[in-house]
Chain A
């Protein structure tokens, strides 16, 4: 089975500080990996995804993530947090026998302090 682990439910950073949101996955086949962001009372918006090729993936709003197969990780980073980054972030995996079905982690709430 596929699974995603997002450690911790809440991360708080100061404006301008590094953002690091961790994601580890379990998959028996090469995975497709995604990060989505959800603002209050809205649907999920894709930040970035890894399918094949370059393991460092750049997304919208200055976010990037690196696929590390040996560590089964796909951590999300942003060099400098903005107030507008405050939201909930979900890591997800798909692929293999599960086709296009997305398996999500529980999500991490990011707070940004002025």
Chain B
């Protein structure tokens, strides 16, 4: 069974440019998460989807970040415009619905903003 797929794996952009990350979760997983991982830190939740609905986006900086999961499967996370401080790894994870269920992580997208 395929795991969580993310693309691109690496992205280098100039500040003020837009950037988008794509995630394809494990088949059958209704819950999808986007996490931000800064260097030397643990991941921090940005947004959680249950099917198409964003049920927890309290940590998403909505002035520049947006996300969508239109058909309840794939998801896209966008930053516009990017700032130097956005340089980090963006991780996508998926799980079946329910507390305590295992979250399966993709390999992440490493963003560098110059």
Contacts and interface: CB of A to CB of B under 8 A. Distances in A.
Interface stretch (A14-22, A67-75, A100-108): A100-108
B40 A100 contact: no
B21 interface: no
Contact of B99 (A9, A94, A104): A94
Nearest to B107: A43
Contacts of B103: 46, 100, 102
Given A101-B45, A104-B43, A107-B41, A43 B106 contact: yes
A32 interface: yes
A43 B91 contact: yes
B42 A90 contact: yes
A46 B107 contact: no
B43 A95 contact: no
Given A41-B107, A104-B43, A107-B42, A99 B91 contact: no
A51 interface: yes
B75 interface: no
B106 A104 contact: no
Contacts of B97: 100
A85 B7 CA distance: 27
Interface in A29-72: 32, 34, 36, 41-46, 49, 51-52
A100 B102 CA distance: 9
B73 interface: no
Contacts of B108: 42-43
A99 B99 CA distance: 6
- 5 smallest CB-CB distances across A and B, nearest first, come from A104-B42, A43-B105, A32-B100, A51-B100, A44-B105
19 contacts: A4-B42, A46-B104, A90-B42, A90-B43, A95-B99, A99-B55, A99-B56, A99-B99, A100-B97, A100-B98, A100-B99, A100-B103, A101-B33, A101-B45, A102-B43, A104-B43, A104-B44, A105-B42, A107-B40
Interface of B: 4, 31, 33, 35, 40-45, 48, 55-56, 91, 93, 95, 97-108, 110
